[in-house]
Structure 1
Amino acid sequence: MGKNKRCRKFAEMKRMLNLKDSRISKDKRQKTNTEEKKRRELLKKGGIIERHVPQHSSAMFFKYNEHLGPPYHVLVDTNFINFSIKNKLDIMRSMMDCLYAKCTPYITDCVTAELEKLGPKYRVALRIAKDPRFERLPCLHKGTYADDCLVQRVTQHKCYIVATCDRDLKRRIRKIPGVPIMYISQHKYTIERMPDVFGAPKTDQ
């Protein structure tokens, strides 16, 4: 007799215990949010709740960023360096060709750490990142995730242009008003969300 073949069930999820289940030990149980309860009680009583609204930058005039101007400060991402090498582009010269002005590329500690983690395959990119013409920006936060670091810097200081080819990072930066994005298109650098005053190319993605 042949073996009884059982059909494998696809897209079957693992059954998990609820974090508030009584079978889980007390210390590992999900604690109810006391602050949320207090807020609800205050709302019921008609009390005033403090809301933390982010303060708008003084550099912004509606969506126009007045802090942008030559010499430009460009925050460079990890993949931007890698794609520049693949497209055989000199970062400094290509930036100047794109913006028609002097540019200063800035590299954070996170970007350098990410390139070091990628190993010997990306040693050329790491050598470029350690170029003395590139300005260093020290990171005081924990971890080496460059995307969060760049987004945080851009929200705090509106004087930067972000150079990246990462779609997710572009999507996140587009939500922040007044921050231009530099990327590689058709073997050259192009920029989006840049004021027309400084003679930047008008190509938008």
Structure 2
Amino acid sequence: MGKRKTKKFASMKRMISLKDQRIKEKDRAKVQETKKKDPSEIKEKEVPKYPSCLFFQYNTQLGPPYHILVDTNFINFSIKAKLDIVQSMMDCLYAKCIPCITDCVMAEIEKLGMKYRVALRIAKDPRFERLPCTHKGTYADDCLVQRVTQHKCYILATVDRDLKRRIRKIPGVPIMYISNHRSELTSDYQWVICGYRCVL
């Protein structure tokens, strides 16, 4: 009995190197000459552009009326704490506040279902400014981080720890959160006025 030849798994045909002498000169790959680096040459490095609105870490674009980006968790926690969102924001900042809600956050609240219908009703309040999203997907955290990075005129209102951690890495963006049944604002510069942490 003769032995059958079995095909080896994932075997490839041998190929001639492009530098081989058997290939015509016009088709042959050229040998790359290694350039010696000049030590006196100026090294170029691409650095991300620093926003012009920041004076060190002080954000010059923040000012009344404050535009506050609201996260899903912030609305839910404000309901639990029995806080009127707009009123508590004004109490915190002592100025007019315009809560803004993106399409992604609205979609996230709608996905939560009937259990969070009160949050949906609050989000559809005419006092809330609706911001359209142009990107793909409905992941709210990425949307908020992207928007805050592009435009430094927003304060971000959230209770989510992971989102707070991401936002703290972006300079000049204050974070508003709920603690002890009231809205508080955090940043590098803080002082306490009437029980609220405020940044001006």
Alignment TM class, shorter chain as reference? 0.7 to 0.9
Larger radius of gyration: 2
Q: Residue 50 of structure 2 aligns to a residue in which SS?
A: coil
**How far off its partner does 1:45 sit?**
5.2
- Give the TM-score normalised by structure 1: 0.73
Q: Residue 110 of structure 2 aligns to a residue in which SS?
A: helix
Structure 1 unmatched runs, 5+: 1-21, 27-40
- Give the TM-score normalised by structure 2: 0.75
**How far off its partner does 1:54 sit?**
1.6
Structure 2 unmatched runs, 5+: 1-7, 13-31
Partner of 1:77: 71
The verdict on how the C-alpha distance between 1:146 and 1:50 changes in structure 2, with shifts beyond 3 A counting, is farther
Partner of 1:8: none
Alignment RMSD, CA only? 3.0
User: Which deviations, in whole Å up to 9, do the C-alpha atoms of 1:178-197 show, x marking residues without a partner?
Assistant: 10000001000000017569
Q: Which amino acid aligns with 1:174?
A: R
- The structure whose residues are more often helix, as a share, is 1
Q: Distance in 2 between matches of 1:158 and 1:84?
A: 25
Moved over 3 A (4+): 22-26, 43-52, 194-197, 199-204
More off after superposition, 124-133 vs 188-197 = 188-197
Within 5 Å, give how 1:45-60 maps onto structure 2: 46=37, 51-60=45-54
Q: Which amino acid aligns with 1:141?
A: H
Q: Distance in 1 between matches of 2:145 and 2:37?
A: 37
Q: Distance in 1 between matches of 2:117 and 2:36?
A: 62
Partner of 1:148: 142
**How far off its partner does 1:49 sit?**
8.4
